[in-house]
Chain A
Amino acid sequence: ETGVTQTPRHLVMGMTNKKSLKCEQHLGHNAMYWYKQSAKKPLELMFVYNFKEQTENNSVPSRFSPECPNSSHLFLHLHTLQPEDSALYLCASSQDEWEGTDTQYFGPGTRLTVL
């Protein structure tokens, strides 16, 4: 266990549904991240929060909406997704927003399938 948990682990949703992914870190870190991992593609950074403030939105479509109520919790709200959004969504945390040798600790991911 890396101290980062994600729920649910698997999610199947229709294009008209609204769902949320949850991430919680128990490491006392100040930065949290959302990544998208598609088959045979590098991890794609989606959002970064540092001390609860969003510091990075990597040109992510508005159908993905992040929320960070505190330094330990991170949500990703989903609505009107497309089939190409099907992927593994990974949450990560680090002591602070990345600097030098700071290591990111990843959760197990949520496998999302959009029908």
Chain B
Amino acid sequence: KNQVEQSPQSLIILEGKNCTLQCNYTVSPFSNLRWYKQDTGRGPVSLTIMTFSENTKSNGRYTATLDADTKQSSLHITASQLSDSASYICVVSPRITGTASKLTFGTGTRLQVTL
């Protein structure tokens, strides 16, 4: 069964500090992996997308890495800001042409950035 597991479930950090969120998946064969940011009371917004041939992708202070061999991805946030407080969701797509039902979502990591 395809699964996406994220850790930690929640995280509290001080403003200005860095943090790394983890995503492990069992989806196979694999096509691409996305990280979404979901603010409280809002819908998810795409941050990065990586295909199986990419190792890293940056979007401002967000850097995602991918190891397709170990089926692991991480999202690194640099110099955190209060506005980074949100849930971060890892979404994995299999390497088949199909419908959206084949997307596998993680439960997310809830990040809180404090003063």
Of residues B34, B100, B107, which shows the largest number of chain A Cβ atoms within 10 Å of its Cβ?
B100
A104 at the binding interface (Cβ < 8 Å) = yes
Q: Which residues of B contact A (CB under 8 A)?
A: 4, 31-32, 34, 41-46, 49, 51, 89, 93, 97-108
Residues of B within 8 A of A55 (CB): 99
Asked if A56 contacts B41 (CB within 8 A), the reply is no
Asked if B99 contacts A48 (CB within 8 A), the reply is yes
Interface residues of A in 85-114 (CB under 8 A from B): 90-92, 94, 97-101, 103-109, 111
Asked if B101 contacts A58 (CB within 8 A), the reply is yes
14 CB contacts below 8 A, A to B, read A40-B107, A42-B104, A42-B105, A45-B103, A48-B99, A90-B43, A98-B100, A100-B97, A103-B49, A104-B46, A104-B100, A106-B43, A108-B43, A109-B42
Residues of A within 8 A of B44 (CB): 43, 90, 106
Interface residues of A in 36-77 (CB under 8 A from B): 40-43, 45, 48, 55-56, 58
Of chain B, the residue at the smallest CB distance from A99 is B97
Of chain B, the residue at the smallest CB distance from A41 is B107
Q: How far is the CA of A49 from the CA of B63 in the complex (A)?
A: 33
Asked if B46 contacts A97 (CB within 8 A), the reply is no
Given A42-B105, A98-B100, A98-B103, 7 more A-B residue pairs with CB atoms under 8 Å apart are A2-B45, A97-B99, A101-B51, A103-B49, A104-B46, A104-B100, A109-B42
Of residues A2, A31, A43, A100, which shows the largest number of chain B Cβ atoms within 10 Å of its Cβ?
A43
Residues of A within 8 A of B46 (CB): 103-105
Asked if A43 contacts B49 (CB within 8 A), the reply is no
Asked if B105 contacts A98 (CB within 8 A), the reply is no
Q: How far is the CA of A40 from the CA of B42 in the complex (A)?
A: 16
Asked if B101 contacts A56 (CB within 8 A), the reply is yes
Asked if B43 contacts A42 (CB within 8 A), the reply is no
Asked if B49 contacts A98 (CB within 8 A), the reply is no
Known: A2-B45, A45-B101, A56-B99. A100 touches B106 (CB 8 A): no
Asked if B101 contacts A43 (CB within 8 A), the reply is no
Q: Mark A20-34, 1 if CB is under 8 A from B, else 0.
A: 000000000001010
